[in-house]
Structure 1
């Protein structure tokens, strides 16, 4: 409660939000930099200048910077600074009991800056990471994998308690994005970074999405182009028995089980979409509304029994029902197709004589394409086309489909129809 009051009381300082272009191809790390903390070399002077400016904000102030990762754009502040963490909550209007993921550039930085230990070449760099994670991070770091670790002891640790959501654990990952890694390495500061969107809105995968939501709320956006993966990192908990996948994301459940070894063979999946009002959560995205456009979203949940004709008739019924309920306010709809509807003509789907405007857009033909395009498509039809209703075709919950459906179920807020 105290932290919520602090967030509300902090002044809403207005910024002139600056956007600086950065070229990820100009940033180069040595093969072991994610372990030993070696700094990158940067061949483009403008990219280096922008990164150093952003690093100074992270290291020397209480303010935040938006930057691209391989998953989505993040809104970053120092994980070691309570005021910086509060600046994140304030800019996003995010509840302060929603935990934040800490991003590091190397395991050396984890040991030095979070666990407060001196560099020691005689000790294993993995000494603060439980053995159950070793096989996963050997293959998947740097990358979109977040693990839960025990919070460091108070006498040696430096991590802000405001990042943990009052948990005995904290979430951490090493991003594979060169821009994100360089920013963290140059500031030598672990960065707490949720997605760089206004709370509850779809996550941003372009700098323009960040500007739409946070202009005037933050001083700087690093523009590194579109994010490749398009959904947030996978969050796993190896401290529980059996281990669990708390949030599906950039790595699939199947990859976790395959690459994690025998200890992950019985990995369970957290299926709950939400938790109780007073319940503590171990990962972002479970307690509050997430990923939601302003327009109503209806999710079509795949049902293998339906034929093409029955699906089309069901889609017509959905549109007729929405039109009868919202005769005056329903002017335009978007249909985002993913599998069955990708190769099906929807020219005659609107009721006869309807004045509805309809936009049909394919999210892609593979799980990876759909995952990468999802948030951008939701934002485009909502914020640019200003449609009143979004109907999205879902995927089977395997491989990338698990993460896609996790986000879409939350975006739809229970408006799910078997299809």
Structure 2
């Protein structure tokens, strides 16, 4: 018994004095072809350059990890070529090892040299290792929040721990200059899931990373807020028809429009559950994801084809009833958050909900996610984290949006955050 307690003490103590280093994305400049030929960036701010070089050394020369901003969410990166680095990612996040990781590269040249172990030969195309079906997409959407699946080559340099024993691996070139510079300066493909504790909402600020991973990682590069706000779109062009495996920073409509005829019949992965022991091709398809500590209830709008018209009074009645039901079921609910999007944006909560005599002993927090799909997507994770970690609410209602455009990714995340606890609204 004593040895067991000793073991727990040794493994749960703080491992790092986590540093947060400010970096300025605007000080980093790439040539127009750097994402193809691997040209290094020019960095005008000495502090940013010093921070990036220190982070690059950790990635390249150690088994440890660095958290850094991408255009989607903050990533927790380790060398994708190093089994121990990948294990450090899983350990810091407490992430199941059968959940595959996306590998981030700074250029097609780096992909060829470091993963396929091939130098560019005169007369050969630098795109030879990428199936032609992807070319219309990556020519427009890379660098950016698009992840593609590639077949694992016979002599791959990539750690097998990134693929979760799959015949494919996932790769993208991020657009965020801090992420691109870190990968380029280390000249190391970086495996990087979101930089949060496993199951938690993804981080879009350095402070979110620090909240979850303080003392578990050596460094966080603080490059400000992430612009997109949800993870990258993952597509599989190796099957017929091709599939959108995870909605994200680029919409389904953009994939179909830019992909050409080969992507015109693109299907959307719509599995709600994954069987125990089933292998998955991309992160986000398995296990609990994006979940605050507080219970989340997702208010799902009717699809357009349902021809159901609800007035504000109808929605008021539904929300009132839902709050009463939750309060009756759990007497410990004292603080409730309501996250609104489009239908409830101009709702009079003060007189209609907050002043309701039935709720007079309860505190309410109101957060407005935005008026457009892009705004809602960018604000989603930050709002969930704010009401959960700062406001310490006991219950969260989130108003969903229609599943078109950015709505497909937003609702994908919200259904998981709510553990499919959804109410028609």
Using the TM superposition, give the Cα deviation of residue 274 of structure 1 relative to its aligned residue in structure 2, in angstroms: 2.8
Matches within 5 A, 1:224-243: 224-243=223-242
Match of 1:282 in 2: 281
1:40 aligned to 2:55? no
| Separation in 2, partners of 1:406, 1:415 | 13
Partner of 2:149: 148
Aligned partner of residue 74 in structure 1, secondary structure: strand
Per-residue CA distance 1:273-324 (angstroms, 9 max, x = gap) = 3311111000101110000000000000002532211111000000000010
Helix, strand or coil at the partner of 1:358: strand
* Selected match of 1:349 from 343, 353, 356: 353
Q: Match of 2:398?
A: 392
Match of 1:310 among 305, 309, 314: 314
What secondary structure, in the 3-state scheme, does the structure 2 residue paired with 1:137 have? Answer: helix
CA-CA distance at 1:361 after TM superposition: 1.2
Aligned residue for 2:78, secondary structure, equals: strand
Deviations 1:371-418 (A, max 9, x none): 000000000000000000000000000000000000000000021000
Alignment partner of 1:349: what SS? helix
Once residues 191 and 244 of structure 1 are traced to their aligned partners in structure 2, the CA distance between those partners, rounded to angstroms, is 25
CA distance in 2, matches of 1:186, 1:417: 48
How far off is 1:120 after superposition?
Answer: 2.0
SS at match of 2:349: coil
SS, match of residue 209 in structure 1 = helix
Query: 1:404 is matched with which residue?
Result: 410
Q: Secondary structure at the match of 2:98?
A: coil
Q: CA deviation at 1:108?
A: 0.2
**CA-CA distance at 1:168 after TM superposition:** 0.2
Alignment deviations for residues 54-79 of structure 1 (CA, whole Å, 9 cap, x no partner):
00000000000000000000000000
Tell whether 2:415 aligns with 1:416.
Answer: no
Find the aligned partners of 1:358 and 1:201 in 2 and give their Cα distance: 23
Q: 1:373 and 1:121 mapped to 2: Cα distance?
A: 47
Question: Counterparts of 1:218-297 in structure 2 under 5 Å?
Answer: 218-297=217-296
- Determine the C-alpha separation between the residues in 1 that align with 2:375 and 2:357: 34
The aligned residue for residue 171 of structure 2 is: 172
Task: Calculate the TM-score normalised by the size of structure 2.
Answer: 0.95
Give 1:9-408 correspondences, 5 Å limit: 14-154=15-155, 157-303=156-302, 304-327=308-331, 329-347=332-350, 348-350=352-354, 351-354=356-359, 355-408=361-414
1:219 CA drift (Å): 0.1
Q: How much does 1:103 deviate?
A: 0.1
C-alpha separation in 2, matches of 1:199 and 1:306 = 37
Question: Does the aligned pair in 2 maintain the 1:367–1:399 contact within 8 Å?
Answer: yes
Q: How big is the shift at 1:353? A: 4.2
The separation in 2 between residues aligned to 1:353 and 1:247, in whole angstroms, is: 41
Q: CA deviation at 1:367?
A: 0.1
CA contact (8 A) 1:277 1:287 kept: no
1:245-277 residue CA offsets vs partner (Å, 9 max, x unmatched): 000000000000000000000000001133111
Inter-partner Cα distance in structure 1 for 2:175 and 2:124:
25
Unaligned stretches of 5+ in structure 2?
1-7, 303-307
SS at match of 2:169: strand
Q: Give the whole-Å Cα distance in 2 for the aligned partners of 1:390 and 1:273.
A: 22
Structure 1 residue runs of 4+, over 4 Å off? Answer: 10-13
Contact 1:273-1:410 at 8 Å conserved across structures? no
Deviation at 1:11, TM superposition (A): 5.4
Contact 1:37 1:109 in 2 (8 A): yes
TM-score, normalised to structure 1's length?
0.96
- Alpha-carbon distance change, 321 to 353 in structure 1, aligned in 2, over 3 angstroms: closer
